[in-house]
Structures are given as structure tokens and as C-alpha cells.
Structure 1
Amino acid sequence: MCEKPKYYITTAIAYTSGKPHIGNTYEIVLADAIARYKRSQGYDVFFQTGTDEHGQKIEMKAEEANVTPKEFVDDVSAEIKRIWDLMDTSYDKFIRTTDKDHEKQVQKIFRKLYEQGDIYKGHYEGMYCTPCESFFTESQLADGKCPDCGREVQPAKEEAYFFKMSKYADKLIEHIHTHPEFIQPVSRKNEMMNNFLLPGLQDLCVSRTSFKWGIPVDFDAKHVVYVWLDALTNYITGIGYECDGESTEQFQKLWPADLHLIGKDIIRFHTIYWPIFLMALGLPLPKQVFGHPWLLQGDGKMSKSKGNVLYADELVDFFGVDAVRYFVLHEMPFENDGIISWELMVERMNSDLANTLGNLVNRTVSMTNKYFNGTVQDKGVSEEVDVDLKHVAEDAPKLVAAKMDELRVADAITEIFNLFKRCNKYIDETMPWVLAKDEAKKERLETVLWNLIQSISEGAKLLEPYMPSTSKKILEQLGNGKVTQKPEILFQRLDIEEVLKKVEELHPPVEEKEEKAIDIEAKPEITFEQFGAMQFQVGEIIACEAVKKSKKLLCSQVKIGSQVKQIVSGIKAYYTPEEMVGKKVMVLVNLKPAKLAGVLSEGMLLCAEDENGNLALMTPEKEMPAGAEIS
């Protein structure tokens, strides 16, 4: 007997800074759907997920909670695992970066890369602010003092180990060119090539001394391994990689990974840093990295500070596990961000799940019981109307397979529901209740119900990777021509007003304070010609990262028409790099380029500022293309 082909799939490991919201949870459900589908196709699947548990942010949160960092991550990791289990995900391994075997291998990997010359000790140098634990260049200082806190600074250096990224850059570029499937979707590949690889890579800091909650560098105790060399290596340590050369049979079987499934905000780390680390270790690269889009609440990314966070367990209480799985999988486009809201969830619950699917199964079971005491056979009394239904049922597996081969999961689900919709149409076309009135049409009626049961069963089998519990319930009700005595209600219709009322009781609206008008000192008048000399356009932020040695600056790659401009902005206190990506912003395009903290800036993002100095990016009120002129 032939051995099953292997399929190794991973998610990004979840950061243990807090409870994951539904946008974070989407990724594990998406990976589970792919893993379940591959198993149904005969693959020997290994599905790994887990938690990323080190770093300064964790250290600070633990201190705020008055617990040790390990106690803090133990609690959060357990909560993440609970959510993953709640969502009926079939992972094979849940790795934690505090696992002793992982920590041991990370130390060995760090030492190996150091000894072979890929990692070297260097330092940050500049004016050091002790309270802020930050270095600044002379040009970054404000009146000779720390630009963040205003305190005195002293000349200082901080040791750090760096990885020689440029050593492997050409090899990685060649790999990407010769393996077009490596980075998906293609838009992510173009972004990585044009914005990072082709302009040239800087060496990467891979150790820190400013905090202690990390894996110690075993030959230099004051350093801890910095995040990405620790977190990324979980994909190999979790399956038995041994840096000394005695890796397990499992590692030999599973590596390279067939798919790293990650959010689009960390695509750079997985398609540049991770492949280069693997090249340095002499290991093959993963076959594919897929950067999925985000699930957004309303008109923006979920944020606790915005008060628009939805959690999986809360949604499950309202809708059930499979309904939530259906929603997050079906509503996410292949490349663009998806939207989630209570209203949309209720709409899908009522139209797709309760009506199209639930009512279809209910009617079929009920009619089979009413007219044939629950048992039917194919009597072969066929008519032309049956042909199309059978074609749709026969084609559905091939159509689903074609979509899944491209990781177009939402489209695969649509193909399955097209079959269910065709079954509903078939009922309308054949009108079993009319056939039942004519004894001479009894065998035709039995054939119709048989065709329905077979077609719905085919759809239910295809539905298993996406809605496993629902798939099982449908197949149990339909049997193989012998249905259950009483149909089980799969999905209850919901009243949107009642749902929103319950939501408001759970999350009372925050009382809005009366907005205070702000007067600022007027600047000298300008002429229309002076204004006309300034060029304003809509830009789309396609990548963003923090500027080293600065607590204020973010460096954004902004698409404006057919070109990309690099713009440095002092908004790090108000936006994370992840929040910036995907935003449409207003840009002063023809500002003379200047260097900020040693980084070239080719324009200016427009912001509003309140009386307390809080900033907010100016964005178009309606959807506008990148490059649209602002006048």
C-alpha cells in the first residue's frame, strides 16, 4: 500500500500579550479548514500552532499585573488554547516558545550561526536616555535632550548581536524568482521584492540587553535572543529539529513545511528573515508562505483602544461554533480585508445558514418521513430536470478542489452553497407536495427525494472541513436513504433587534463627552498660487516599520499612483506599524526630501492634533484610489 503524501501546515504563533480577538482567531480556523480538507484528500497532515511568549512587552505586562512573566504567559497561553479548542480546530501540536526543548534548540541555533560567522557582535552607539532605555543620534535630540521624555542624555553604547542579512539576499531573490508559488498572493511577493529585497537589506539585530524575559544567549549571559530568531524557529523545533545534526524522523519526514499561513502584517519576517535563517542553517525553504488579509470590525482594524473588539467565545454564545466558522471563512476575500459586524453575522445566519441550508435539510427530512415513513430508494423515474441537479452535485467536488488548490477557501465554500441553492431550486421545480397528491406519481416522488438526499449528502461531505459539526449532523439525519424520524433544527433564525439589544447589555455604549472646539494661533495668509504649488494626493500604506533608535518615528512605504514613496512620520505613539498597513492617507507629495534619524523621507502624511497633542491620520471620507488628487 502506498504511503500517504505528507502535508505540514503551520499558523503564526499567537503573541501572549492578551486574549485573541476574532481577527486573530480567523487564522487558526482558516488553517484548520485547509488541514481538514487535505486530510479528506488522503494527505498525512501535521498541523502546528502555538504561542510566542518572550519579549519586553510581556515583561512589562507581567510587572503591571504583579506576576512573573512565566505566570503571565501561562495564563494567556492557556486562554489562547481554550479559544482554539472552542473553535473545533484539529491541530496536532501546540508549541510554546517557553518549552524547554524549544529554548535549548534556539540557543544551539544562535551559537551555530555565530560560530559560522553569520552572527556578529556589534553595538548601537549614540546619546543614551536611561529612563527611556533608548539611543539617539545628535540630530534626533530636542535641544540637546531626549526627544521623548526631555531628560538629559549621555554618550553611550549598547551591545547587540547582528545577523548578516545581505550575505544571503541574492540567493533569496533567486529563489523567489525561480519559485513563483513561494509567496502568495502575488501582491505580497511584489511588495517584498520592491520595498525590501531589491533596495538592499540591513543587518538584523538578533539580541537585546535592555530586558531579561527572553532566551539567554548561552555564551553571553547579558544578552537574550531577540524575537524573530526565537519565534520563527518554532516551525522546525516543534517537529524535532536538532541543531547538532540528530534531528528526529518526524522532522526528516515533515520538513520543509508545505504551508506557513500568516497575517499579511508579518509577511516580511516570514519571506525574508525566516528563509535567510534557514539558508544559513543549510535547510530547505518552506514550499509556500501565504499572507492572508485581515478581518476588520466595521471600518477599521480591531483595537481594544477603539472599543471595537469582538471575541470568538462571545460570538459563539450568540451564533454557535460552526456559524462563526462559516462567517469568518466565507466573508474573507482572497487578497482584500474582510468585514465583520453583528448585523452581517445575523444576516448570514438567517439567509445562508437557517434558510438556504437548514431549511433545505429540514424540508427534505420532513417530506421523506411524511410520504415514505423515512425511507426512500432510487426508483429510476427520471426527468430532464434531474440532469442539471446531478451535474451540479457531480461537479461540486472538482470545483471545490480547484479553489482549495489556490487556497481560495471562501470561493470553495461558495461552490458548496451553490449546490445547496440548486437543491432548493430543484424542490421548487419538482414540487414534491404536488406529486404526493397523485398516487401514479409516487415512484417519481420517491426518485425526487432520493435525488435530494444524495445531492445534499454530497454537499454535507464537502462541508466537513469548514463546518465539521454541521456536516456530521446533516449526514446523520439523511443516512443513505433512511432519514431520522424528526429533523434537527441546524440553525435558528435570529432577530437583529434582539441581538443588538443583548450586545448593548453586554457592552454598554461609552458616554461620549461633548466635543471641545480648539482654537490655534493663525499663521500668515498665503495666496492661491502658493497653495497651488503644494501637491496633495491619496496614498495607500503598503508597509510600515519602526525606525531604529527612535521612539517617535515610523517609516511607511506609501503607494501613490504607480510609484511608492518612503515617508517618515512622528506618530509611533499613536499607531503601530501593523495598524498603519492598508490605510488610505492624505499625503503632501512634493515636500523636499529630508533625512529623519538617518532615514530618507520623501513626503509628509497629514494628521490632525488635539489640545493634548494626540494625533490622528487624515483619511478620505469615501473609498478613493491611491494617487487621487486632493484639491
Structure 2
Amino acid sequence: MLRAMPYGNDGIFTPEDFVSKLNYDLANDLGNLLNRTVAMINKYEDGVIPALNSGATEFDADLVQTANDVIKAYNENMQAMRTADALAEVWKLISRANKYIDETTPWTLAKDEAQADKLASVMAHLAAALRVAAILLQPALTRAPKQIFHQLGLAESNLQIADLKFEDLPAGGKVVAKGEPIFPRVDVEAEVAYIRDEMTGGAAKPAEETEASYIEVPTKDLIEFDDFDKVEMRVAEILEVTEVEKSNKLLRFKLNDGTKEGRTILSGIKKWYPEYAGLVGKKVAFVANLKPRKMMGEMSEGMLLSAEKDGNVILTILPDEIEAGSELG
């Protein structure tokens, strides 16, 4: 909920957005990162966190720099009471750590004994990223940071934010033999119904007593399959999100669309995503063969797909496992 309350503006809370953040930000992004890291340290390092030695892979420096930048920005935002912005910074590190796994492919390194040192370095960097994220999340999450430390075999006495440094990861910690999800995914429909019932003080009727209700869905003229087949929809990873100067609606998305050049798409969803920094690292769907058009003096090379109902707009976020550039159909 803190992430939905930008500094100086009203927060917008909906049960749907709450459950989405639980399933995607917490379960998929943070929870999955912890589960994968613990499982790989058990599999490749006999459950022991290796010593942190940066520079073993070409991706180490960027992860370390991201962590240091996040720590600095987090402290500045918290000092300015910009809690939502501070938390968005933490998710930059979490997204970067998930990407680091895809870049370093530990499962490939494990097949070559000559890459043992490099594999150990990858495991240490992932543990270090989780340690930093857990420490920074303490003001917002009261139990999860301690659970993360427990699964990593780190002492709770080290949950200190003062003088936090990425490289201060204690070596030799023994991770738990089998990690348990700290953020289990929830059933969207059931959870949303429960929250709505709580918001109305239990006034809502039980599902079995509620008459089915339907909405009028406006439809356009039917088209032939050949017309639909002309639309090319693909998957992209969000690399950067920035505001478009002099626009109170547009955000500029730098995307990895699977090509060497990438592409830029402008989208008028700023109103619904005041914490747009948290979108970095997400996989989204977009129309790839839409003719580029100029918006506010800049070219937009496609269109991001989103869902809209009752004035609320939500981007179509796809699972992390789908590769950028994949075609949808």
C-alpha cells in the first residue's frame, strides 16, 4: 500500500491493484528471486554462500553499481519522506538481480568445472542483492526481511541499515535446505472478493447469494481473420521509464524488444503509474508493426497493450520467463 501513495499526491487503492502487487511484485519478483537463489546455492555450492569477489563475470559491476545507486537514492528519498519512491528504488535492485540470473545463466556455468569460481561469484552476488533488498524493505515489510535473512542463513543482528554496503556480505552462511515461499501467490478472484467484503464491513452478500451481474461490453464490427493476422504483437522488457517533457500524460518506455536496436514507445498512462520506476524489468506486450507516429515531438514506435475498466488502466504484465522478442498470437 505504501507504494500506491506517492509523495504529495492522493493514493489510489483498489483490491485488484493490491492483489496484482502481491502476486507480481512480491511473489514473482522478490519471492521468486529468493527461491531461485536458495535452490541454486544448495545445488551448486552445497548450501554455503561463497565469498563475494566482484569481477568474475562481465555483469557483476553493473549489479554492484545498481545496488550502490539504489542505496543512495533510497536514503535520499526516505530523508525527504518519499516512501513510495524509496520502495521503487528497491525494486530496481530486485529487477536487476533477476535479470542478472538470466545474463549469467548459472545452470550453464555449472556444466563446466572450469567455471566453478565464476559460478560461486554469481551465487554470492545474488545473496548480496537479497541482503541489501531485505534491509531496505524493513520499514515497509515487518516479517519478510527476517524471513529472507533466515533462509540465507544470515544473523538478524546484521539487519542494520546504517552504513549499508553491497560488498559487506558475510561469507560462509548456510542457507536453509529447502526454501519456502514467503509470498505465496493468491487466487485473484477470491482475494479481491474478500478484500471488497472487508471494505464494506461484511455488508456484501456471500458469492452464492449474489445474483450474477453483467456489464454491457461495447463491441466493434467483426473482422476477418486475415485482418487480425496483420497485427504483430510481441513481448518486450522495460529497460527504462522516463517522463516526457511538458506532458502530464505521457511516459517514455525504452524497451528491449529482442532486436539489437530496441525501440521507444510513448504511452499515456502516467496518471495510473506515478511510481513508474517500479516497471523497470517487467515484461510487457506491445503492437510491433504499428506505424510510428509523432507524439509531443517524439516518435513512438508501437503501442503497449493494457486493460481498461471503470476508468482504471493496467498494463498487460507478462511472466518473466517469456523472452523479449517472442511473438504473441
Is the contact made by 2:52 and 2:125 (CA closer than 8 Å) also made in structure 1?
Answer: no
Aligned to 1:396: 70
Deviation at 1:442, TM superposition (A): 1.4
Is the contact made by 1:457 and 1:475 (CA closer than 8 Å) also made in structure 2?
Answer: yes
- Paired residue for 1:378, among 51, 56, 62? 51
Q: Does residue 444 of structure 1 match 2:140?
A: no
Q: Does residue 474 of structure 1 match 2:170?
A: no
Q: Does residue 358 of structure 1 match 2:31?
A: yes
- Paired residue for 1:487, among 179, 182, 192? 179
Deviation at 1:500, TM superposition (A): 3.7
Aligned to 1:508: 204
Q: For 1:510-589, what aligned pairs fall within 5 Å after superposition?
A: none
- Paired residue for 1:346, among 8, 19, 23? 19
Is the contact made by 2:19 and 2:192 (CA closer than 8 Å) also made in structure 1?
Answer: no
**Structure 2: stretches of 5+ with no match in the other structure:** 155-169, 212-309, 313-329
In structure 2, give the amino acid aligned to 1:508.
Answer: A
Deviation at 1:419, TM superposition (A): 0.7
Q: Distance in 2 between matches of 1:379 and 1:338?
A: 40
Q: Does residue 498 of structure 1 match 2:190?
A: yes
Deviation at 1:423, TM superposition (A): 0.5
Offset from partner CA, 1:5-64 (integer Å, 9 cap, x none): xxxxxxxxxxxxxxxxxxxxxxxxxxxxxxxxxxxxxxxxxxxxxxxxxxxxxxxxxxxx
- Say if 1:329 and 1:437 are closer, same or farther in 2 by CA, change over 3 A: same
Offset from partner CA, 1:314-345 (integer Å, 9 cap, x none): xxxxxxxxxxxxxx211001122112122111
- Say if 1:379 and 1:492 are closer, same or farther in 2 by CA, change over 3 A: closer
Q: Distance in 2 between matches of 1:408 and 1:502?
A: 30
- Say if 1:383 and 1:397 are closer, same or farther in 2 by CA, change over 3 A: same
More RCO (CA 8 Å, sep 6+): 2
Aligned residues: 188
**Structure 1: stretches of 5+ with no match in the other structure:** 1-327, 513-620, 624-631
- Paired residue for 2:92, among 406, 409, 418? 418
Aligned to 1:430: 104
In structure 2, give the amino acid aligned to 1:353.
Answer: L
The alignment partner of 1:338 has SS state of: coil
In structure 1, give the amino acid aligned to 2:3.
Answer: H
Q: Decide which moves more: 353-362 or 375-384.
A: 375-384
Q: Distance in 1 between matches of 2:140 and 2:93?
A: 15
- Say if 1:340 and 1:435 are closer, same or farther in 2 by CA, change over 3 A: same
Q: Distance in 1 between matches of 2:194 and 2:32?
A: 26
Q: Distance in 1 between matches of 2:86 and 2:47?
A: 32
In structure 2, give the amino acid aligned to 1:394.
Answer: N
Deviation at 1:383, TM superposition (A): 2.2
Q: Distance in 2 between matches of 1:450 and 1:356?
A: 19
Q: Distance in 1 between matches of 2:48 and 2:148?
A: 16
Is the contact made by 2:39 and 2:179 (CA closer than 8 Å) also made in structure 1?
Answer: yes
Provide the aligned C-alpha RMSD in A: 2.5
Q: Distance in 2 between matches of 1:345 and 1:382?
A: 39
Q: Distance in 2 between matches of 1:483 and 1:421?
A: 22
Q: Percent identity?
A: 41
Q: Distance in 1 between matches of 2:108 and 2:34?
A: 19
- Name which one, 1 or 2, has greater alpha-carbon Rg: 1
Q: Decide which moves more: 373-382 or 456-465.
A: 373-382
- Say if 1:502 and 1:330 are closer, same or farther in 2 by CA, change over 3 A: closer
Offset from partner CA, 1:154-195 (integer Å, 9 cap, x none): xxxxxxxxxxxxxxxxxxxxxxxxxxxxxxxxxxxxxxxxxx
Q: Does residue 409 of structure 1 match 2:105?
A: no
- Paired residue for 1:464, among 129, 138, 142? 138
Is the contact made by 2:38 and 2:179 (CA closer than 8 Å) also made in structure 1?
Answer: yes
Q: For 1:101-120, what aligned pairs fall within 5 Å after superposition?
A: none
The alignment partner of 1:403 has SS state of: helix
The alignment partner of 1:353 has SS state of: helix
In structure 2, give the amino acid aligned to 1:487.
Answer: G
Is the contact made by 1:334 and 1:408 (CA closer than 8 Å) also made in structure 2?
Answer: yes
- Say if 1:379 and 1:497 are closer, same or farther in 2 by CA, change over 3 A: closer
